[in-house]
Each structure stands twice: as C-alpha cells, then as structure tokens.
Amino acid sequence: MNRKTFINELKKELRYYKKINAEEVIYYYDEMIQDAVDEGEDESLFIKNLGSTETILANIIGDEGFLKDVKESNSNSLKNIVNNTVKVISLIAYYFSLVIMAIVYASIFISGISLIAQSGIYFFFDNPNSMDQWVLIGLMIMGLGIALIGFALIKSLSKTYNSIRLFIIRKTKQIYRKKENRQ
C-alpha cells in the first residue's frame, strides 16, 4: 500500500469520530511516513509495519495521551517550519543590507580616491597658479579624508557583520511572535 492510499483509508475511518481531530492525525501519519521515506525506508513496508487503519484507530481511541502527543508533535513541526522561515527571511534581509552597506561604503571610498585623482591630475598637468594649487591640495586632503572614512566604514562592516545578522534575526522573530499573538 502506498502513502496516498493509506492516508485516504485513514481519513475514511476517522470521519465517523467527531472527538478526534482527523486533520491532525492525518498530518501526523503523513509526516511520519514521509520522514521514514526520506531516511531511506521502503514506503510500503513502513506502512505495513504501522498496521491496518482499523488497528491505528483502535489505538487512538484507546490512548487519549496519543492525541495530545500528536497535537504536540504537529505544533513542534509548525514551530520548526516558522523558525526555518524566520531564519531564511533573516538571512535574506541580512545579506541584502550587507550588500547595500558595502555599496554605500565602497562609494564613499571611491569618491575620496576620485577626488584625490582628479585634483592630482589638475595639480600636476594643468599648471595651476598658486591659489589654485592650494585649492587642489585642499581637495586632495579632503579626498584622502573621504577615502579614509570609506575605508574605516568598510573595515567596521567586516568586523560587525555578525552582530548585524543577530539583530536582524531577533527583530524578525519579534515580528513573527507579534503576528502569532494576534491570531
């Protein structure tokens, strides 16, 4: 018997019992079978070892703790999905912000280098008068300052990337918690 057939038979058996949350039981067994298949077990053999749907239903009815375990298992599974989703969203936000900051910081650094280069070209190849020379020297010094600021920002970004990542993960989890509390 394959998983789909087993799940359909289990649904048919469960529809007569109003006290049992059929969806949670179906999800539980579907996940259990999928996990077993993912671990390399034969699907039909695993389903055969579970027993018939009548036996499973008798066990469910006879063991009230089983339904609590099913609810807890499904809840933990949902939490894992949400946690993994939070991590993925956080990492996307983290890398996006990291790229944006790196571009901004590199632009500052390149602007400073460009100012130095442009002023240097005018200073050495244009034969400026003495007043223009001082202006060009001032521009070169200002370009050096801008380049150093850009370099320092890039260096600080490389040192603090982990704290930025943790901050983004924390904030994303807070957003999800707020949404869960509203529902």
Secondary element (H or E) of residue 24: helix 22-38
Instruction: Based on DSSP, count helices (H) and strands (E) in the chain, helices before strands.
Output: 6, 0
Query: Pseudo-torsion of CA 164, 170, 171, 172, nearest 10°?
Result: 110
User: Taking the CB of residue 60, how many other CB atoms lie within 10 A of it?
Assistant: 18
Residue-wise over 102-120: b if at least 16 C-beta within 10 A, else e? eeebeebbeebbebbeebe
pLDDT at 180 (0 to 100): 63
pLDDT at 177 (0 to 100): 67
- Cα–Cα distance, 56 to 17 (Å, whole number): 13
- Cα–Cα distance, 50 to 6 (Å, whole number): 10
pLDDT at 176 (0 to 100): 67
Predicted confidence pLDDT, tens digits, the chain (183 residues): 888 898 888 888 888 776 677 777 787 788 788 888 888 889 888 888 888 888 888 877 777 676 666 666 655 555 556 666 777 777 787 788 888 988 999 999 999 999 999 998 888 888 888 888 888 889 999 999 999 999 998 888 777 776 666 676 667 776 766 666 665
User: Residue 165 in contact with residue 94, Cβ under 8 Å?
Assistant: yes
pLDDT at 89 (0 to 100): 77
pTM for this model (two decimals): 0.44
How far apart, in Å, do the first and last CA atoms of the chain sit? 39
Structure tokens at 178: 């707020």
Q: Where are the domains of the chain?
A: 3-62, 79-182
Distances in whole angstroms, Cα of residue 56 to Cα of each of 6, 7, 50, 146, 152: 11, 12, 8, 72, 65
pLDDT at 79 (0 to 100): 59
pLDDT at 75 (0 to 100): 56
